[in-house]
Amino acid sequence: MEALIAIVIGVLTASGVYLSLRGRTFPMVLGLTLMSYAVNLFLFVMGRLAIGTPPIVREGASYADPLPQALVLTAIVISFGMTAFVVILALRARAELGNDHVDGEEYPR
């Protein structure tokens, strides 16, 4: 299970890095989104993987670490807001610069 999660996070991050290095704003936004998914998963599993244990402390019962869940909730909200902002900004850049290249100009192929 740990290996699977690690591979998933690795693939998400690698795809995110690749896409965010692209020259057009839409793949770049997708890349940033994938990277934020990867980091959210990463934060979540930093409390260790546990099955069937609630994040509530009770006498005698095992419990999952609740803090990463709170952290990841905050991180999801922030990355969601930031993604919305960067989409609007990319649209505005498309309108003002006349194309969707991140540098605002087309380069000859």
**In 3D, which of 17, 23, 33 has the Cα closest to residue 93?**
23
Is 19 near another protein (CB under 8 A)? no
Is 84 near another protein (CB under 8 A)? no
Q: Applying CB under 8 A, which of residues 7, 46, 50, 73 lies at the interface with another protein?
A: 46
Whole-number CA gyration radius for the chain: 19
Is 7 near another protein (CB under 8 A)? no
Is 71 near another protein (CB under 8 A)? yes
Q: Applying CB under 8 A, which of residues 6, 7, 49, 67 lies at the interface with another protein?
A: 67
Secondary structure of 31-86 in the HEC alphabet?
A: HHHHHHHHHHHHHHHCCCCCCCCCCCCCCCCCCCCCHHHHHHHHHHHHHHHHHHHH
Q: Applying CB under 8 A, which of residues 2, 51, 57, 103 lies at the interface with another protein?
A: 103
